[in-house]
Amino acid sequence: MTELQASLMAIGGTIVVGVITYNKWQEYKAKKSVQRAFSSEHDDVLMQPPATAGEGRQEPSLAPEDAPAHADVAAAGALPQQGAAEPVAAVPQKELPVDDLIDCSISLTIEAPVRGEKLLPKLQTLRHVGNKPVHFIGQREDGGWEPVAHGSAYHSLFAGVQLANRSSPLNEIEYSELIARLRQLSDDIDADLDVPDMGHVMARARSLHQFVAEHDAQLSVNVQSKGAPWAINTLLSALERQGFDLRPDGRLVMPDGDGGVLFSLSTNVTLAAETTSRLTLLLDVPRVAPLRDGFGAMTACARMLAARLDGVVVDDGNQPLSDAALNEIAEQVAAFYSHMENANIAAGSTRALRLFS
Q: Give me the mean pLDDT over the 10-24 stretch.
A: 51
What topology is assigned to 69-213 in CATH?
Answer: Cell Division Protein Zipa; Chain: A, (3.30.1400)
Query: How far is 13 from 288, CA to CA, in rounded Å?
Result: 58
Convert the pLDDT of each residue in 206-245 to its tens digit.
999 999 999 999 999 999 999 999 999 999 988 998 899 9
Residues 145/137, Cβ–Cβ less than 8 Å: yes
pLDDT score at 194: 97
- In this prediction, residue 10 has a pLDDT band, given cuts at 50, 70 and 90, of low
Query: How far is 211 from 163, CA to CA, in rounded Å?
Result: 12
Instruction: Say whether pLDDT at 31 is over 80.
Output: no
Convert the pLDDT of each residue in 278-327 to its tens digit.
999 999 999 999 999 999 999 999 999 999 999 999 999 999 999 999 99
Convert the pLDDT of each residue in 108-164 to its tens digit.
999 999 999 999 999 999 999 999 999 999 999 999 999 999 999 999 999 999 999
CB atoms under 10 Å from CB of 207, counted, come to 20
* CATH number for the domain formed by residue range(s) 41-63+216-355: 3.30.1400.10
pLDDT score at 38: 62
Query: How far is 277 from 298, CA to CA, in rounded Å?
Result: 19
What are the residue boundaries of the structural domains of the chain, listed by start?
41-63+216-355, 69-213
pLDDT score at 39: 55
Please tell me the least confidently modeled range out of 32-46, 158-172, 181-195. Answer: 32-46
Same CATH fold assignment for domains 41-63+216-355 and 69-213:
yes
Average pLDDT of the chain to the nearest whole number: 82
pLDDT score at 251: 80
pLDDT score at 90: 46
Residues 306/313, Cβ–Cβ less than 8 Å: yes
Decide which of 32 and 199 is more confident: 199
pLDDT score at 305: 95
Alpha helix segments (H runs only) across 169-248: 172-189, 198-214, 232-241
Residues 196/176, Cβ–Cβ less than 8 Å: no
pLDDT score at 63: 35
Residues 37/306, Cβ–Cβ less than 8 Å: no
Give just the sign of the alpha carbon dihedral 318, 309, 221, 336. negative
Convert the pLDDT of each residue in 54-105 to its tens digit.
333 333 333 333 333 333 333 333 334 333 444 444 444 446 999 999 999 9
